[in-house]
Amino acid sequence: MAKKADGREIVASNRKASHEYFLEEKYEAGLVLTGSEIKSIRAHRVNLGEGWVEEQSGELWLMDVHINEYKEASRFGHKPTRPRKLLLHRKEINRIIGRIQERGFTIVPTVMYLVKGRAKVEIAIAKGKKQYDKRAATEERETNRNIRRAIKSGEWE
């Protein structure tokens, strides 16, 4: 994938998150990784689809994010879905933990990217959508797409 103007190289994105949740606040977090994990991330072998963030004894952990094994690491490899510690400032951690203790809030990873060779993950505080919210969002997206198509073809005037 191409690098963005701000120096971020997007490795993986969780497009399902914006469909399943209302995304509210977003935070950038570092990750504690092993050598084989960062090599797999640099090779874009990551899946954020089923991931979530969990609080354990005052720390935030990235759970169920699949980082493929790095074949060249052989016996020094890693488990693909092991929990990974997130690195944030203490004030941010306390603010996030306070929000997830409210009813209906969770934390989901939305994007994983590289900044100057270091892996970062963007996490978002999210509230689950109901089925009718998902249908309304799909209808609005299709309506906007049809309007753009009509304007582009000159039929809108």
Domain CATH number, residue 17: 2.40.280.10
Q: How confident is the model at residue 85 (pLDDT cuts 50, 70, 90)?
A: very high
The Cα–Cα gap between 146 and 91 comes to 44
Establish if 63 belongs to a structural domain: yes
Tell me which of 38-42, 100-104, 113-117, 144-148 is least confident.
100-104
Please give the residue range of the domain that contains residue 86: 8-129
**pTM for this prediction:** 0.78
Query: In this model, does residue 83 exceed pLDDT 60?
Result: yes
Task: Give the Å distances, CA to CA, from 60 to 47, 70, 150.
Answer: 19, 25, 47
Establish if 31 belongs to a structural domain: yes
Establish if 138 belongs to a structural domain: no
pLDDT number for residue 37: 86
Establish if 143 belongs to a structural domain: no
pLDDT number for residue 4: 67
pLDDT number for residue 50: 87
Long-range Cβ contact pairs of 22-26 (< 8 A, separation 24 or more): 22/126, 22/127, 22/128, 22/129, 22/133, 23/108, 23/110, 23/124, 23/125, 23/126, 24/124, 24/125, 24/126, 24/127, 25/99, 25/124, 25/125, 26/110, 26/122, 26/123, 26/124, 26/125
Average pLDDT, the chain: 86
For residue 113, give the 3-state DSSP assignment.
Answer: strand
Establish if 137 belongs to a structural domain: no
pLDDT number for residue 156: 61
Establish if 3 belongs to a structural domain: no
Establish if 20 belongs to a structural domain: yes
Give how many domains the chain has, as a whole number.
Answer: 1
Establish if 52 belongs to a structural domain: yes
